[in-house]
Structure 1
Amino acid sequence: MSTSNTFPIGTFGQPWGDEEKAQWLATTSIKRSYKDDVITKIDALKDRFDVTQYGALSFDSERYPQFGIRSRDFDASKPTILITGGVHGYETSGVHGALKFLDTEALGFTEHFNFVVAPCVSPWGYETINRWNPRAVDPNRSFVENSPAEESANVMAFVKGLGIDIFCHIDLHETTDTDESEFRPALAARDGKEYEEDVIPDGFYLVGDSDMPNTEFQTAIIDEVRKVTHIAPPDDNGNIIGAPIEQEGVINYPTKTLGLCSGFTNCQYGTTTEVYPDSPKVTDEECNDAQVAAIRGALNYLIAHQ
């Protein structure tokens, strides 16, 4: 594995201060519309689901409201499924996969489950196609007490405020080529560390919780997704993004310790999906369909094992 020391912002070996973070923010720009792409689709669900604005980003509260979507007629006797997307705003199919599931399949599962969905946790990141928030903070390392990212803090407060137990949490993500070309080098520079190059896996994989692996649950998701897209193989060292595979297409992280979104509730079942949208083998819509398939595979497993 090789290393690299160069990044256009900051001094190698020194963590960024406010000046470097401001320089980084100045390099970002609006590339697509959260209102046109996402809010319009949320509005179209209001005839079937309850929609709540649970927060807004102080960077521009008018432009970046945050929405939660819930199935109607909540039944306390049913388990509740939490689905989150767009924690990293640039991971497009996480957002649109969550919305497509609500539009096409969710009502078919409300006999068995209540649903709570936050389809775009990081709307500024969505518009700027960015992993971080405007303060150069990664929301998906910030699901902790006194979170440094308001994107994370707001959705945690929303879920906590519902006063219900989360049975299963499915967090929808992507791993992209820009992780390696842009975001990981930026992370190393921000933290004053050496950047170690890695390999982007070609295909879909899951990140489970090493403290609660639920192996058969993860297998059921992989088996459903493989009907839509290919599953990522391990690299020559038997790893995916530096972590050893637990089974085909599955690695495990200590999600709570790392402050990951999928670890912020005390759910009995949890997983993080990772779609690979840069593969020449897939289209954008197939990436959305892979996210829907992951949710469907999880839910069918839970129904069969209730």
Structure 2
Amino acid sequence: MSLSVNQLEEARRALDAPLYADVAGDIDVSFEFFPPKNEKMAATLWDSVATLAPLGPRFVSVTYGAGGSTRERTHATVARIARETGIPAAAHLTCVEATKAEIDAVAHEYWAAGVRHIVALRGDSPQAGQAYAAHPGGYENAADLVAGLKRLHPFDISVACYPECHPDSADATADLDNLKRKMDAGATRAISQFFFSPDTFFRYRDAVAAAGIDAEIVPGIMPVSNFAAVVRMSKMCGTEVPTWMERLFAGLDDLPEARQLVAATLTAELCRKLYAGGVKQFHFYTLNRAELSYAICHLLGVRAKAREVKVAA
């Protein structure tokens, strides 16, 4: 990792002073949600949106199920966030099981609803364990999707990147080549897959720069509220789960409040080390819960910019 003099000074401060006492709050945050499946989940989601909105995120994103399985719910959630909170809302779009015409129609709907930011993803096969295959008449991959979206409207487009290499990439070089194609097609920034070691991100950031990619690389942060679930997700996306993390969560299965405290501590430490290395943008995978992300943002110096944001139940 290459650090400037200012970053070295910040690193020393992180070691010498109370870790969070003097963090300036000079960061940008964004949050990811998924569309709710029922009324109870909807209530949790909108409570979380209302809690996090005063932190002034530069955008919030809403995921999109394989094959468009959540298409209507994603659209409704994105439109409501944009309408009721004023926060820029980003809608996920994937290439899975849809023709170009079908995806273009969804993109036009978003534009008409005032959505200007798309998170463009290849997506994964809807059949677990099966290799991804492009849909006949569909977009081939994320780079193709980005180019197609740019032909439709001047969207702000985020794409995914993988500090530990996408499972379908032959190697790290091929993975970086794919990222470069996405950026060259018109993407604005890349949001990373979650990871658990700051060095993983720093090494990747250096590799991205060495590959001639100068776009913004935003670390994706996953607060670990359910260790077993994160282990499952990590196996699917190739993220390494450190053995020390398993030890720290051992024995907490039936102690949710203690588990929350441990999760907040570990994730805040990761973010603090990233901040010491010059990272000023963070994207939180909230899993539709606000508490952990809010606490970590607070430790990083982010404060509410408005007293209250009302989101109707």
TM-score, with length taken from structure 2: 0.29
**Structure showing the higher strand proportion among its residues:** 1
**Structure showing the higher helix proportion among its residues:** 2
TM-score, with length taken from structure 1: 0.30
